A and B are shown apart, each in its own frame.
Chain A
Amino acid sequence: MNRDSQSARGSIRKGRAIMLAGLVGLAGIYLMAWQFTPTERFQGLAQKIFYIHPPAAYASEMAYVLAGIASVLYLLLKDERFDTFAAASAEVGLAFGAVLLTTGPIWAKPIWGAWWTWDARLTFSLILFLLFAGYFALRSAVREPAERARYAAVVAVMGMLLVPFIHLTVYLFNTTHPQPVVVQTGKPALPPEMLRTFLASFAVFTTLYVGMVMMRYGIGARQIAEEVADAE
Protein backbone atom coordinates (compact mmCIF):
# COMPACT_ATOMS: atom_id res chain seq x y z
CA MET A 1 0.00 0.00 0.00
CA ASN A 2 1.55 3.31 -1.02
CA ARG A 3 1.61 6.61 0.82
CA ASP A 4 -1.21 8.23 -1.18
CA SER A 5 -3.68 5.51 -0.37
CA GLN A 6 -2.63 5.59 3.29
CA SER A 7 -3.27 9.32 3.58
CA ALA A 8 -6.60 8.77 1.78
CA ARG A 9 -7.57 6.21 4.41
CA GLY A 10 -6.56 8.67 7.14
CA SER A 11 -8.76 11.32 5.60
CA ILE A 12 -11.72 8.91 5.49
CA ARG A 13 -11.19 7.94 9.14
CA LYS A 14 -10.94 11.53 10.38
CA GLY A 15 -13.85 12.60 8.21
CA ARG A 16 -15.98 9.79 9.59
CA ALA A 17 -15.25 10.85 13.17
CA ILE A 18 -16.11 14.48 12.45
CA MET A 19 -19.29 13.46 10.61
CA LEU A 20 -20.39 11.29 13.53
CA ALA A 21 -19.83 14.26 15.86
CA GLY A 22 -21.95 16.34 13.43
CA LEU A 23 -24.73 13.73 13.49
CA VAL A 24 -24.76 13.72 17.30
CA GLY A 25 -24.91 17.52 17.10
CA LEU A 26 -27.84 17.24 14.70
CA ALA A 27 -29.73 15.06 17.18
CA GLY A 28 -28.96 17.77 19.76
CA ILE A 29 -30.42 20.43 17.44
CA TYR A 30 -33.64 18.41 17.11
CA LEU A 31 -33.84 18.18 20.89
CA MET A 32 -33.13 21.89 21.38
CA ALA A 33 -35.64 22.89 18.71
CA TRP A 34 -38.28 20.58 20.17
CA GLN A 35 -37.86 21.10 23.92
CA PHE A 36 -35.91 24.26 24.62
CA THR A 37 -37.07 26.70 21.96
CA PRO A 38 -40.44 28.49 22.02
CA THR A 39 -43.00 27.75 19.31
CA GLU A 40 -43.52 30.63 16.93
CA ARG A 41 -46.91 32.34 17.36
CA PHE A 42 -48.06 32.59 13.72
CA GLN A 43 -46.44 29.63 12.00
CA GLY A 44 -46.66 27.15 14.87
CA LEU A 45 -44.66 23.94 14.56
CA ALA A 46 -43.96 24.52 10.87
CA GLN A 47 -41.47 27.19 11.90
CA LYS A 48 -39.22 24.50 13.47
CA ILE A 49 -37.92 23.81 9.99
CA PHE A 50 -36.04 27.06 10.43
CA TYR A 51 -33.36 25.12 12.34
CA ILE A 52 -32.72 22.79 9.39
CA HIS A 53 -33.66 24.60 6.20
CA PRO A 54 -31.53 27.81 6.26
CA PRO A 55 -28.46 25.95 7.62
CA ALA A 56 -28.84 23.42 4.77
CA ALA A 57 -29.06 26.31 2.31
CA TYR A 58 -25.91 27.83 3.80
CA ALA A 59 -24.04 24.51 3.72
CA SER A 60 -25.00 23.72 0.12
CA GLU A 61 -24.10 27.18 -1.14
CA MET A 62 -20.79 27.13 0.70
CA ALA A 63 -20.12 23.70 -0.82
CA TYR A 64 -20.85 24.93 -4.35
CA VAL A 65 -18.71 28.05 -3.91
CA LEU A 66 -15.75 26.05 -2.58
CA ALA A 67 -16.15 23.55 -5.43
CA GLY A 68 -16.05 26.48 -7.87
CA ILE A 69 -12.94 27.98 -6.29
CA ALA A 70 -11.20 24.59 -6.29
CA SER A 71 -12.08 24.21 -9.98
CA VAL A 72 -10.47 27.56 -10.84
CA LEU A 73 -7.37 26.50 -8.90
CA TYR A 74 -7.33 23.18 -10.75
CA LEU A 75 -7.36 24.91 -14.13
CA LEU A 76 -4.56 27.23 -13.02
CA LEU A 77 -2.33 24.76 -11.18
CA LYS A 78 -3.37 21.35 -12.65
CA ASP A 79 -3.03 19.70 -9.23
CA GLU A 80 -5.40 16.74 -9.08
CA ARG A 81 -6.09 17.31 -5.37
CA PHE A 82 -8.11 20.41 -6.28
CA ASP A 83 -10.22 18.30 -8.60
CA THR A 84 -10.77 15.64 -5.95
CA PHE A 85 -11.78 18.35 -3.49
CA ALA A 86 -14.11 20.05 -6.02
CA ALA A 87 -15.88 16.76 -6.69
CA ALA A 88 -16.16 16.03 -2.95
CA SER A 89 -17.49 19.48 -2.12
CA ALA A 90 -19.95 19.50 -5.02
CA GLU A 91 -21.32 16.09 -4.06
CA VAL A 92 -21.81 17.10 -0.43
CA GLY A 93 -23.38 20.32 -1.71
CA LEU A 94 -25.87 18.25 -3.69
CA ALA A 95 -26.75 16.28 -0.55
CA PHE A 96 -27.45 19.49 1.39
CA GLY A 97 -29.26 20.83 -1.67
CA ALA A 98 -31.55 17.80 -1.54
CA VAL A 99 -32.27 18.55 2.15
CA LEU A 100 -32.98 22.15 1.19
CA LEU A 101 -35.33 21.25 -1.65
CA THR A 102 -37.27 18.67 0.37
CA THR A 103 -37.65 20.65 3.62
CA GLY A 104 -38.75 23.77 1.74
CA PRO A 105 -42.00 22.34 0.32
CA ILE A 106 -42.83 20.70 3.69
CA TRP A 107 -42.81 24.17 5.24
CA ALA A 108 -44.40 25.87 2.25
CA LYS A 109 -47.55 23.72 2.17
CA PRO A 110 -48.99 24.93 5.54
CA ILE A 111 -47.54 28.47 5.31
CA TRP A 112 -47.84 29.44 1.64
CA GLY A 113 -50.63 26.98 0.88
CA ALA A 114 -48.72 25.25 -1.90
CA TRP A 115 -45.90 22.69 -1.98
CA TRP A 116 -44.13 24.53 -4.72
CA THR A 117 -44.30 28.17 -5.76
CA TRP A 118 -41.99 29.60 -8.37
CA ASP A 119 -40.52 31.88 -5.79
CA ALA A 120 -37.09 33.34 -6.59
CA ARG A 121 -35.00 31.62 -3.92
CA LEU A 122 -36.72 28.32 -4.49
CA THR A 123 -36.10 28.44 -8.22
CA PHE A 124 -32.54 29.59 -7.62
CA SER A 125 -31.78 26.60 -5.38
CA LEU A 126 -33.38 24.23 -7.87
CA ILE A 127 -31.36 25.55 -10.80
CA LEU A 128 -28.12 25.40 -8.79
CA PHE A 129 -28.97 21.82 -7.84
CA LEU A 130 -29.58 20.92 -11.49
CA LEU A 131 -26.37 22.64 -12.56
CA PHE A 132 -24.31 20.52 -10.19
CA ALA A 133 -26.30 17.40 -11.05
CA GLY A 134 -25.20 18.07 -14.66
CA TYR A 135 -21.64 18.45 -13.36
CA PHE A 136 -21.85 14.87 -12.02
CA ALA A 137 -23.48 13.58 -15.18
CA LEU A 138 -20.44 14.91 -17.02
CA ARG A 139 -17.99 13.46 -14.49
CA SER A 140 -19.51 10.02 -14.83
CA ALA A 141 -19.42 10.18 -18.63
CA VAL A 142 -15.65 10.73 -18.88
CA ARG A 143 -13.29 7.84 -18.03
CA GLU A 144 -9.85 9.38 -18.35
CA PRO A 145 -9.08 11.12 -14.99
CA ALA A 146 -7.17 14.16 -16.32
CA GLU A 147 -9.77 14.77 -19.02
CA ARG A 148 -12.59 14.35 -16.51
CA ALA A 149 -10.94 16.87 -14.18
CA ARG A 150 -10.50 19.46 -16.93
CA TYR A 151 -14.03 19.12 -18.27
CA ALA A 152 -15.57 19.22 -14.82
CA ALA A 153 -13.56 22.30 -13.89
CA VAL A 154 -14.65 24.06 -17.08
CA VAL A 155 -18.31 23.37 -16.30
CA ALA A 156 -17.89 24.51 -12.69
CA VAL A 157 -16.21 27.78 -13.71
CA MET A 158 -18.91 28.44 -16.32
CA GLY A 159 -21.50 27.67 -13.64
CA MET A 160 -19.98 30.19 -11.24
CA LEU A 161 -20.37 32.93 -13.83
CA LEU A 162 -23.92 31.78 -14.57
CA VAL A 163 -24.98 32.18 -10.94
CA PRO A 164 -25.34 36.02 -11.01
CA PHE A 165 -27.45 35.74 -14.17
CA ILE A 166 -29.70 33.09 -12.64
CA HIS A 167 -29.98 35.23 -9.53
CA LEU A 168 -31.10 38.23 -11.55
CA THR A 169 -33.46 36.11 -13.65
CA VAL A 170 -35.29 34.50 -10.76
CA TYR A 171 -35.72 37.80 -8.92
CA LEU A 172 -37.10 39.50 -12.01
CA PHE A 173 -39.37 36.46 -12.34
CA ASN A 174 -40.95 36.30 -8.90
CA THR A 175 -40.32 36.49 -5.16
CA THR A 176 -42.46 35.79 -2.08
CA HIS A 177 -39.75 34.24 0.09
CA PRO A 178 -39.36 35.40 3.72
CA GLN A 179 -36.53 37.91 3.93
CA PRO A 180 -33.56 37.19 6.23
CA VAL A 181 -34.44 37.75 9.90
CA VAL A 182 -31.02 37.20 11.45
CA VAL A 183 -28.48 38.90 9.21
CA GLN A 184 -29.89 42.37 8.82
CA THR A 185 -29.05 45.87 9.95
CA GLY A 186 -30.14 46.61 13.50
CA LYS A 187 -30.85 43.92 16.07
CA PRO A 188 -31.87 40.42 15.00
CA ALA A 189 -35.65 40.22 15.32
CA LEU A 190 -35.54 36.84 17.03
CA PRO A 191 -36.01 35.76 20.65
CA PRO A 192 -32.64 34.72 22.15
CA GLU A 193 -33.64 31.02 22.55
CA MET A 194 -34.50 30.78 18.87
CA LEU A 195 -31.30 32.56 17.89
CA ARG A 196 -29.26 30.17 20.06
CA THR A 197 -30.74 27.06 18.42
CA PHE A 198 -30.41 28.66 14.99
CA LEU A 199 -26.72 29.49 15.40
CA ALA A 200 -25.99 26.10 16.99
CA SER A 201 -27.54 24.53 13.93
CA PHE A 202 -25.20 26.46 11.63
CA ALA A 203 -22.24 25.15 13.64
CA VAL A 204 -23.58 21.58 13.34
CA PHE A 205 -24.09 21.87 9.59
CA THR A 206 -20.59 23.25 9.17
CA THR A 207 -19.24 20.25 11.12
CA LEU A 208 -21.28 17.88 8.95
CA TYR A 209 -19.97 19.59 5.85
CA VAL A 210 -16.34 19.28 6.96
CA GLY A 211 -16.72 15.63 7.98
CA MET A 212 -18.55 14.57 4.84
CA VAL A 213 -16.16 16.40 2.51
CA MET A 214 -13.13 14.85 4.24
CA MET A 215 -14.65 11.40 3.87
CA ARG A 216 -15.61 11.97 0.26
CA TYR A 217 -12.21 13.47 -0.48
CA GLY A 218 -10.55 10.40 0.98
CA ILE A 219 -12.71 8.10 -1.13
CA GLY A 220 -11.85 10.09 -4.27
CA ALA A 221 -8.14 10.11 -3.44
CA ARG A 222 -8.20 6.35 -2.77
CA GLN A 223 -9.85 5.71 -6.12
CA ILE A 224 -7.12 7.67 -7.89
CA ALA A 225 -4.40 5.87 -5.91
CA GLU A 226 -5.96 2.52 -6.93
CA GLU A 227 -6.19 3.59 -10.57
CA VAL A 228 -2.52 4.56 -10.47
CA ALA A 229 -1.60 1.25 -8.79
CA ASP A 230 -3.58 -0.68 -11.43
CA ALA A 231 -1.83 1.18 -14.21
CA GLU A 232 1.64 0.43 -12.83
Chain B
Amino acid sequence: MSVWRAARAIAAKDLRIEWRHKTALLTATLFAVLVLLVFVFSRDPASVPLASIAPSVLWVTLALSALVALNRAFLLEREHAALDGILLAPVPRQALFWGKLLSNLAFVLTVQAVAFPLWVLFFNITPTGALLAIVVVVLLASVGFTAVGTLFSAMAVRTRFAELLLPVLMLPFMIPPVFAASEATMRLLAGRPIGELWGWLRLLALYDVVFVVLANLLFPAVVDE
Protein backbone atom coordinates (compact mmCIF):
# COMPACT_ATOMS: atom_id res chain seq x y z
CA MET B 1 0.00 0.00 0.00
CA SER B 2 1.34 3.42 -0.87
CA VAL B 3 2.17 5.88 1.94
CA TRP B 4 -0.58 8.18 0.84
CA ARG B 5 -3.31 5.53 0.75
CA ALA B 6 -2.27 4.14 4.12
CA ALA B 7 -2.21 7.65 5.58
CA ARG B 8 -5.71 8.32 4.28
CA ALA B 9 -6.94 5.05 5.73
CA ILE B 10 -5.51 5.90 9.17
CA ALA B 11 -6.96 9.42 9.08
CA ALA B 12 -10.35 8.09 7.95
CA LYS B 13 -10.34 5.56 10.80
CA ASP B 14 -9.58 8.30 13.37
CA LEU B 15 -12.21 10.65 12.03
CA ARG B 16 -14.80 7.87 11.92
CA ILE B 17 -14.15 7.13 15.59
CA GLU B 18 -14.37 10.83 16.45
CA TRP B 19 -17.59 11.15 14.50
CA ARG B 20 -19.21 8.17 16.22
CA HIS B 21 -18.34 9.40 19.70
CA LYS B 22 -18.49 13.16 19.16
CA THR B 23 -17.63 13.58 22.85
CA ALA B 24 -14.04 14.74 22.26
CA LEU B 25 -15.07 17.12 19.51
CA LEU B 26 -17.90 18.64 21.51
CA THR B 27 -15.77 18.95 24.64
CA ALA B 28 -12.89 20.61 22.79
CA THR B 29 -15.31 23.04 21.15
CA LEU B 30 -16.93 23.81 24.48
CA PHE B 31 -13.47 24.45 25.90
CA ALA B 32 -12.71 26.97 23.12
CA VAL B 33 -15.95 28.84 23.76
CA LEU B 34 -15.28 28.98 27.49
CA VAL B 35 -11.76 30.33 26.97
CA LEU B 36 -13.20 33.11 24.79
CA LEU B 37 -15.70 33.89 27.52
CA VAL B 38 -13.10 33.98 30.28
CA PHE B 39 -11.05 36.49 28.27
CA VAL B 40 -14.02 38.79 27.82
CA PHE B 41 -14.51 38.81 31.60
CA SER B 42 -10.84 39.15 32.46
CA ARG B 43 -10.61 42.71 31.21
CA ASP B 44 -11.97 45.93 32.69
CA PRO B 45 -14.78 46.87 30.27
CA ALA B 46 -14.47 50.56 31.19
CA SER B 47 -10.81 50.91 30.24
CA VAL B 48 -9.92 48.14 27.78
CA PRO B 49 -11.92 48.18 24.55
CA LEU B 50 -12.72 44.72 23.15
CA ALA B 51 -11.16 45.58 19.80
CA SER B 52 -7.70 46.12 21.29
CA ILE B 53 -7.46 42.60 22.72
CA ALA B 54 -9.35 40.79 19.95
CA PRO B 55 -6.31 39.45 18.00
CA SER B 56 -4.53 38.24 21.17
CA VAL B 57 -7.66 36.54 22.48
CA LEU B 58 -8.26 34.81 19.16
CA TRP B 59 -4.76 33.39 19.13
CA VAL B 60 -4.58 32.35 22.75
CA THR B 61 -7.95 30.63 22.34
CA LEU B 62 -6.94 28.84 19.15
CA ALA B 63 -3.58 27.78 20.60
CA LEU B 64 -5.08 26.44 23.83
CA SER B 65 -7.90 24.59 22.13
CA ALA B 66 -5.41 23.07 19.67
CA LEU B 67 -3.44 21.82 22.70
CA VAL B 68 -6.54 20.23 24.18
CA ALA B 69 -7.35 18.67 20.83
CA LEU B 70 -3.82 17.32 20.34
CA ASN B 71 -3.75 15.83 23.81
CA ARG B 72 -6.20 13.17 22.74
CA ALA B 73 -4.47 12.46 19.41
CA PHE B 74 -2.78 9.25 20.53
CA LEU B 75 -5.00 8.47 23.51
CA LEU B 76 -7.23 6.51 21.15
CA GLU B 77 -4.28 4.34 20.24
CA ARG B 78 -3.26 3.70 23.84
CA GLU B 79 -6.50 1.93 24.71
CA HIS B 80 -6.24 -1.81 24.12
CA ALA B 81 -2.71 -1.18 22.71
CA ALA B 82 -4.25 -0.22 19.37
CA LEU B 83 -1.00 1.47 18.32
CA ASP B 84 0.79 -1.87 18.30
CA GLY B 85 -1.78 -3.09 15.80
CA ILE B 86 -1.06 -0.22 13.46
CA LEU B 87 2.68 -0.61 13.89
CA LEU B 88 2.39 -4.29 12.97
CA ALA B 89 0.57 -3.43 9.75
CA PRO B 90 2.85 -3.57 6.69
CA VAL B 91 2.79 0.18 6.07
CA PRO B 92 5.67 2.66 6.32
CA ARG B 93 6.03 4.57 9.62
CA GLN B 94 5.66 7.79 7.64
CA ALA B 95 2.11 6.79 6.72
CA LEU B 96 1.19 6.76 10.40
CA PHE B 97 2.60 10.28 10.79
CA TRP B 98 0.78 11.67 7.75
CA GLY B 99 -2.45 9.94 8.75
CA LYS B 100 -2.29 11.29 12.29
CA LEU B 101 -1.35 14.74 11.02
CA LEU B 102 -4.36 14.74 8.71
CA SER B 103 -6.82 13.62 11.36
CA ASN B 104 -5.36 16.00 13.95
CA LEU B 105 -5.54 18.86 11.51
CA ALA B 106 -9.16 18.02 10.70
CA PHE B 107 -9.95 17.91 14.41
CA VAL B 108 -8.12 21.15 15.25
CA LEU B 109 -9.66 22.99 12.30
CA THR B 110 -13.16 21.79 13.21
CA VAL B 111 -12.79 23.20 16.72
CA GLN B 112 -11.42 26.42 15.23
CA ALA B 113 -14.28 26.57 12.75
CA VAL B 114 -16.64 26.88 15.71
CA ALA B 115 -14.44 29.16 17.81
CA PHE B 116 -13.72 31.58 14.97
CA PRO B 117 -17.32 32.72 14.18
CA LEU B 118 -17.98 32.99 17.91
CA TRP B 119 -14.94 35.24 18.25
CA VAL B 120 -16.33 37.39 15.41
CA LEU B 121 -19.64 37.56 17.27
CA PHE B 122 -18.30 38.14 20.80
CA PHE B 123 -15.80 40.79 19.74
CA ASN B 124 -18.11 42.61 17.33
CA ILE B 125 -15.75 42.18 14.37
CA THR B 126 -17.24 43.76 11.25
CA PRO B 127 -17.40 40.98 8.65
CA THR B 128 -15.27 42.17 5.72
CA GLY B 129 -12.83 40.61 3.27
CA ALA B 130 -10.23 40.79 6.04
CA LEU B 131 -11.97 37.88 7.77
CA LEU B 132 -11.26 35.63 4.80
CA ALA B 133 -7.61 36.62 4.98
CA ILE B 134 -7.62 35.79 8.72
CA VAL B 135 -8.96 32.34 7.87
CA VAL B 136 -5.90 31.86 5.63
CA VAL B 137 -3.67 32.94 8.54
CA VAL B 138 -5.43 30.41 10.82
CA LEU B 139 -4.80 27.63 8.29
CA LEU B 140 -1.14 28.58 7.83
CA ALA B 141 -0.47 28.75 11.56
CA SER B 142 -2.35 25.55 12.42
CA VAL B 143 -0.46 23.28 10.02
CA GLY B 144 2.90 23.98 11.67
CA PHE B 145 1.95 23.52 15.29
CA THR B 146 -0.29 20.56 14.55
CA ALA B 147 2.74 18.84 13.00
CA VAL B 148 4.79 19.53 16.15
CA GLY B 149 1.85 18.38 18.29
CA THR B 150 1.44 15.16 16.31
CA LEU B 151 5.06 14.25 17.00
CA PHE B 152 5.02 15.28 20.66
CA SER B 153 1.68 13.72 21.51
CA ALA B 154 2.96 10.37 20.22
CA MET B 155 5.68 10.61 22.89
CA ALA B 156 3.71 12.29 25.64
CA VAL B 157 0.95 9.68 25.60
CA ARG B 158 3.47 6.98 26.50
CA THR B 159 4.82 8.84 29.53
CA ARG B 160 3.51 9.52 32.98
CA PHE B 161 1.74 12.92 33.24
CA ALA B 162 0.90 12.95 29.51
CA GLU B 163 -1.73 15.66 29.88
CA LEU B 164 0.74 17.93 31.64
CA LEU B 165 3.76 17.15 29.54
CA LEU B 166 2.33 17.95 26.14
CA PRO B 167 1.57 21.63 26.91
CA VAL B 168 4.97 22.08 28.57
CA LEU B 169 6.71 20.73 25.48
CA MET B 170 4.38 22.36 22.96
CA LEU B 171 4.00 25.92 24.20
CA PRO B 172 7.55 27.10 23.36
CA PHE B 173 6.89 25.83 19.84
CA MET B 174 3.67 27.80 19.68
CA ILE B 175 5.32 31.13 20.41
CA PRO B 176 6.60 31.92 16.87
CA PRO B 177 3.44 30.95 14.94
CA VAL B 178 1.10 32.53 17.50
CA PHE B 179 3.13 35.73 17.47
CA ALA B 180 3.27 35.95 13.67
CA ALA B 181 -0.40 35.04 13.30
CA SER B 182 -1.52 37.53 15.91
CA GLU B 183 0.55 40.33 14.28
CA ALA B 184 -0.99 39.47 10.92
CA THR B 185 -4.50 39.39 12.42
CA MET B 186 -3.96 42.77 14.08
CA ARG B 187 -2.89 44.34 10.78
CA LEU B 188 -5.78 42.79 8.90
CA LEU B 189 -8.32 44.07 11.43
CA ALA B 190 -6.77 47.54 11.31
CA GLY B 191 -7.12 47.53 7.52
CA ARG B 192 -3.38 47.90 6.94
CA PRO B 193 -2.07 47.49 3.36
CA ILE B 194 -1.49 43.87 2.31
CA GLY B 195 2.24 44.55 1.78
CA GLU B 196 2.73 44.69 5.58
CA LEU B 197 1.53 41.11 5.87
CA TRP B 198 3.99 39.34 3.61
CA GLY B 199 6.75 39.09 6.19
CA TRP B 200 4.44 37.43 8.73
CA LEU B 201 2.90 35.07 6.20
CA ARG B 202 6.35 34.05 4.99
CA LEU B 203 7.41 33.36 8.58
CA LEU B 204 4.34 31.15 9.07
CA ALA B 205 4.92 29.30 5.80
CA LEU B 206 8.59 28.72 6.60
CA TYR B 207 7.66 27.40 10.06
CA ASP B 208 5.16 25.00 8.45
CA VAL B 209 7.69 23.64 5.97
CA VAL B 210 10.50 23.23 8.53
CA PHE B 211 8.42 21.53 11.22
CA VAL B 212 6.27 19.33 8.98
CA VAL B 213 9.44 17.96 7.37
CA LEU B 214 11.34 17.61 10.64
CA ALA B 215 8.45 16.05 12.58
CA ASN B 216 8.00 13.57 9.74
CA LEU B 217 11.71 12.66 9.80
CA LEU B 218 11.80 12.25 13.59
CA PHE B 219 8.52 10.36 13.89
CA PRO B 220 9.99 6.84 13.37
CA ALA B 221 12.37 7.48 16.31
CA VAL B 222 9.31 8.02 18.51
CA VAL B 223 7.20 4.99 17.59
CA ASP B 224 9.91 2.38 16.96
CA GLU B 225 10.67 0.07 19.83
Which residues of A are in contact with B by a Cβ distance under 8 Å?
75, 127, 130-131, 133-134, 137-138, 141-142, 147, 150-151, 153-155, 157-159, 161-162, 165-166, 168-169, 172-173
Contacts and interface: CB of A to CB of B under 8 A. Distances in A.
Chain A residues touching B, majority SS: helix
B221 A153 contact: yes
Interface string B169-182: 10111011001100
A146 B148 CA distance: 22
B217 to A, nearest CB: 9
Interface stretch (B56-64, B92-100, B130-138, B157-165): B157-165
A134 B169 contact: yes
Contacts of B203: 165, 168
Contacts of A162: 172-173, 176
Interface stretch (B4-12, B67-75, B83-91, B206-214): B206-214
Contact of A131 (B159, B172, B207, B214): B172
- Give the top 8 A-B pairs by smallest Cβ distance, nearest first: A141-B159, A165-B176, A169-B176, A134-B168, A151-B155, A131-B172, A141-B160, A134-B169
B206 to A, nearest CB: 8
B176 A168 contact: yes
B179 A173 contact: yes
Contact of B214 (A137, A138, A158, A169): A158
A141 B156 CA distance: 9
Given A150-B222, A154-B218, A154-B222, A130 B172 contact: yes
B111 interface: no
State which size class the interface on B falls in: 20 to 34
Given A138-B165, A161-B210, A161-B211, A169 B175 contact: yes
Contact of A166 (B151, B164, B176, B183): B176
A75 B218 CA distance: 9
A80 B79 CA distance: 31
Contacts of A168: 176, 203
A158 B207 contact: no
Interface in B141-157: 148, 151-152, 155-156
A153 B165 CA distance: 16
11 contacts: A75-B221, A127-B175, A134-B168, A137-B168, A138-B165, A141-B161, A150-B221, A151-B155, A151-B159, A159-B172, A169-B175
Interface of B, secondary structure class, is: helix
Given A151-B222, A162-B176, A165-B207, 16 more contacts: A127-B172, A131-B172, A133-B168, A138-B156, A138-B159, A154-B151, A154-B218, A154-B222, A155-B152, A157-B214, A158-B148, A158-B211, A158-B215, A158-B218, A161-B211, A169-B179
A166 B172 contact: yes
A157 B169 CA distance: 13
Most chain A beta-carbon contacts within 10 A, residue among B148, B175, B207, B215:
B175
A169 B151 CA distance: 23
A154 B152 CA distance: 9
B169 A138 contact: yes
B222 A161 contact: no
A133 B215 CA distance: 21
Contacts of A159: 172
Contacts of A172: 179, 183
Given A137-B165, A151-B155, A161-B214, A169 B180 contact: yes
Nearest to B148: A158
Contacts of B156: 138
A2 to B, nearest CB: 26
Contacts of A141: 159-161, 165
Nearest to B172: A131
Nearest to B170: A134
Nearest to B222: A154
Nearest to B203: A168
A189 B82 CA distance: 64
A171 B148 CA distance: 23
Nearest to A148: B159
